[in-house]
Structure 1
Amino acid sequence: MVDNLTNICDPVFGKVDDLISLLGKSKLLHILYLLNIKNEPMRFSDIKNQVKSSSTTVSRRLDELENNGLITRNSSPTIPTKVYYSLTEDAQNLAPTIQSMYDWIIERKIMPN
């Protein structure tokens, strides 16, 4: 029974580790949380201003989120082109888990000084 559980869990643990590693990157959770609570596509400058981070960091995180299938990047057909970011269905499914982490912190009053 234990061997069977180990065989099932090993690949899952690796994927969970990968997800936690991704989510642990600077400002990445903030971006996901922001896109979730706004519940509408957002422009780069709005995301950058809300998460209070450098353009480089926000750009890297958005690329990582897009590469991992958690956000979509859409361009408007206007001139100048406007780029909007929004959550994918996978990210929307992950959102309650992220929200529960924020709630857990708030409930325990584990806030920064």
Structure 2
Amino acid sequence: MTTRWLLLLPVLALTACWPTDEEEMDCATVLCVPCAPALMVRLHGSGGQSPPEAVLEGAPGGCSVDGSTTVCTLSDSRSGHFEFDIQPTGYEKVHVSETVAEMETHGSCCSCGYMPRAVDVQLKPQ
């Protein structure tokens, strides 16, 4: 056997064991990574200033400082339309109205059912 065929053998072995469309995969035996938040809002303040503390209003979740950015994340992990406010300290209140698209889960054990979104918002001082 040539080196090329030896490199191809593991790939062929794995694909031979992968279930076809007719077979059902046993999802109970599949280890999945946690789903990303459905919606994440990154708040950017004025240049040179430290990132502000912020509070979510009208939606479950929270905000925290991540480096030079304040990040607000919803704890509601689903597709759909989200509408809420964020009040950053020293800045105008931000109204967020975003839709998280549904993702088809046909044949996938580890699908979360939605396409995670990240939105950037430039803050305006009060």
TM tier, shorter chain? under 0.3
Larger Rg: 2
Q: TM-score, normalised by structure 2?
A: 0.22
Q: TM-score, normalised by structure 1?
A: 0.24
**Structure with higher helix content:** 1
Larger relative contact order (CA 8 Å, sep ≥ 6) = 2
